[in-house]
Structure 1
Amino acid sequence: MSIDRKPDARPPQGRLRARLESFLGMVELAGLVVIGLATTFAMAQEGWKFAALGVFSITDLLLMFLYLEVLAMVVRYLKLGQLPVRFPLYIAMVSLARDLILRFNEATEFHMLALCAGVVMLACGVLILRYGQHRFPSNDDGQTGAGE
Structure 2
Amino acid sequence: MAQIRSHIQLGKAYADELDHILFEVFHYLALFVIGASIVWSAVIAYWGMVVHGHATISDILLLFIYLELGAMVGIYFKTSAMPVRCLIFVAITALSRLLIADVQAHHQESLNLLWVSGAIVLLALSTLLIRTSSLPSSK
Hey, what does 1:116 align to over in structure 2? 117
Once the two structures are TM-superposed, the CA of residue 8 in structure 1 deviates from its matched residue by 8.8
Once the two structures are TM-superposed, the CA of residue 136 in structure 1 deviates from its matched residue by 4.4
Hey, what does 1:29 align to over in structure 2? 28
Whole-Å separation in 2 of the counterparts to 1:114 and 1:54: 33
Whole-Å separation in 2 of the counterparts to 1:18 and 1:110: 56
Hey, what does 1:98 align to over in structure 2? 97
Whole-Å separation in 2 of the counterparts to 1:136 and 1:12: 46
Q: Larger helix proportion, structure 1 or 2?
A: 2
TM-score, normalising length: structure 2: 0.83
Hey, what does 1:75 align to over in structure 2? 74
Instruction: Please list every run of at least 4 consecutive aligned residues from structure 1 whose deviation after the TM superposition is greater than 3 angstroms.
Output: 7-15, 105-108
Q: Does residue 130 of structure 1 match 2:111?
A: no
Q: Sort the Cα spacing of 1:109 and 1:11 in 2 relative to 1 into closer, same or farther, 3 A.
A: farther
Once the two structures are TM-superposed, the CA of residue 46 in structure 1 deviates from its matched residue by 1.4
> What 5-or-longer segments of structure 2 have no aligned partner?
1-5
Once the two structures are TM-superposed, the CA of residue 53 in structure 1 deviates from its matched residue by 1.4
Higher relative contact order (CA 8 A, sep 6+): 2
2:76 and 2:83 in contact (8 A); partners too: no
Once the two structures are TM-superposed, the CA of residue 35 in structure 1 deviates from its matched residue by 0.8
Query: Deviation digits for residues 100-125 of structure 1, max 9, x if unmatched?
Result: 11112438622111111111111000
Once the two structures are TM-superposed, the CA of residue 132 in structure 1 deviates from its matched residue by 0.7
Whole-Å separation in 2 of the counterparts to 1:108 and 1:29: 46
Q: Sort the Cα spacing of 1:8 and 1:29 in 2 relative to 1 into closer, same or farther, 3 A.
A: farther
> What 5-or-longer segments of structure 1 have no aligned partner?
1-6, 138-148
2:68 and 2:90 in contact (8 A); partners too: yes
Whole-Å separation in 2 of the counterparts to 1:115 and 1:85: 20
Whole-Å separation in 2 of the counterparts to 1:16 and 1:63: 44
Greater CA drift, 108-117 or 34-43 = 108-117
Greater CA drift, 62-71 or 108-117 = 108-117
What is the alpha-carbon root mean square deviation over aligned residues?
2.4
